[in-house]
Amino acid sequence: MEKNGDQLKPDQQQQLLFVMLIQQHEQIAMMGMGKIVNPQTEKTDRDLKSAKYAIDTLVMLDKFTEGNLSKELKEYLTQTLNTLRLNYAEEKKKGDSDKSES
């Protein structure tokens, strides 16, 4: 199986794109929570508003795809949301103070 999706059937390509979309928003949320380095700035910045926006986008995606996802994709999205929500709650508990590292 090619990573770029060239050897996949159309349905498999769509599933791969869906997973990549989830991963993209997960990465944005984790950057916003200061959990991973922003590749553009090479810094760890904390921006809980952007993290919340990314999480809310995945919540909307979950709502609008209800009943239309395979069991595996639904579980992946649910697990990702649960992880992000727990991390967000942890960061929110720390307060809105700026937490930046190089």
Per-domain residue ranges of the chain: 48-93
**At 71, which amino acid appears?**
K
Angstrom distances, CA of residue 56 to CA of 6, 62, 79, 85: 31, 10, 15, 10
Q: Which residue has the higher pLDDT, 83 or 8?
A: 83
> Can you give the pLDDT at residue 77?
98
**Helices then strands (H, E): number in the chain?**
3, 0
Give the pLDDT of residue 64. Answer: 97
Q: Give the model's pLDDT for residue 97.
A: 53
Is the pLDDT confidence value at 28 over 90?
A: yes
Q: What is the mean pLDDT of residues 17-43?
A: 95
Quote the tokens at residue 60. Answer: 């909307």
Which pLDDT does position 37 carry in this prediction? 94
Gap between the Cα atoms of 44 and 31, Å rounded: 7
The maximal CA–CA distance of the chain, rounded, in angstroms, is 47
How many CA within 13 A on the CB side of residue 93? 6
